[in-house]
Amino acid sequence: MKNKILLVDNDRDFLEATAILLESDGYDVVRASNGQEGFQRAKEESPDLILLDMMMTYKTEGAEMAKALAADAATHNIPLILITGAKKEMGFPFEIKPDEKDLPVKMVIEKPIQPERLLSTVKLFIKKTGLEHRSFVGEIDALVDKWSGKDGNLIMILHEIQNHYGYVPREAAFELRRLLGIPLARIYEVITFYNYFKLDPPGKHLISVCMGTACYLKGAPGLLSELKNLLNVEEGQTTPDGLFHLQIVRCLGCCGLAPVMTVDGKIYGKVKKENVINILSEYSKEKMEVVQ
């Protein structure tokens, strides 16, 4: 199966020349000439990578499209590379660089770009994402086969995918759309309705904070906010380094130890806010040892 690249640019000559270059290197190229069309094609085609122009109908159209893709559950994991001539052609006085909030792309490349550099950059990103994409196909096929023709099979298949991978990968949702013939919007409606389903890979260590009544009254909200501050994540999120995932749970059945938190199932009882950092360091230590 060929890796798929979505190319979005309103400069028809650049679009065609770049598409031909990528196709000659073995990629399947989907073309779009503006941000709106690009966003639609990204949702329909599930590309492995998106190459996006910054200035199209208006100066920041590429940035707006990048933000829309980052905010959409179906597309937020697709890597984006911004290709722009803004600095040279328009004399932008500042450097255009990736920014999590205003320009959520992996990389910015200035035009004109050498064909060899474009191909080697694309190869690097495809290596990280495309191989993973292909490996899903056979596994998802097997799950769909197992539940084919049974009532409520979408939820059961999503459960199996969640159990298998620890989350529902974007590629899996697209495969389900293809194999079951269910609209993608319906699949994401189900995924986002149930807290159980996650759209991002789980962290290495799972932190659960009990917010049952006893724990709540004994200070669990304080523990939770300390964890959020230290890890810089909200509940339901994973730290950017993938080390911790933070979640809230209801009564863990050991109310006498309230407030209670667990890390990978290990119970910490009567936890004080000031002890949280020591608990985390037990788990981040192993990471430091690997890095050194």
The residues that touch ligand FES, with contacts defined as CB under 6 A, are 210, 212-215, 251-252, 254-255, 258, 260
Q: Which residue is nearest to ligand FES, using beta carbons?
A: 212
Q: Of 155 and 214, which CB lies nearer to ligand FES in the complex structure?
A: 214
CA gap 221, 82 in Å, rounded: 41
CA dist., res. 41 & res. 30, Å (int): 8
CB 126 within 8 A of CB 22: no
Q: How far is the CB of 259 from ligand FES (least distance, A)?
A: 7
Smaller CB distance to ligand FES: residue 97 or 250? Answer: 250
- Alpha carbon distance 46, 30 (integer Å): 10
Decide whether 182 or 248 has the Cβ nearer to ligand FES: 248
Q: How far is the CB of 247 from ligand FES (least distance, A)?
A: 14
Contact 238, 201 (CB under 8 A): yes
In single-letter form, the type of residue at position 33 comes to: S
Bridge-based pairing of strands 4-8 and 49-53 is: parallel
Minimal distance in Å, beta carbon 267 to ligand FES?
9
- Taking the least distance from each CB to ligand FES, the nearer of 121 and 208 is 208
User: In whole angstroms, how close is the CB of 260 to ligand FES at the nearest point?
Assistant: 5
- Residue whose C-alpha is closest to residue 210's, from 198, 218, 202, 199: 218
How far is the C-alpha of 292 from the C-alpha of 285, rounded, in Å?
11
Least distance (Å) between residue 214 CB and ligand FES: 4
Instruction: Give the nearer residue to ligand FES in terms of CB position, either 86 or 260.
Output: 260
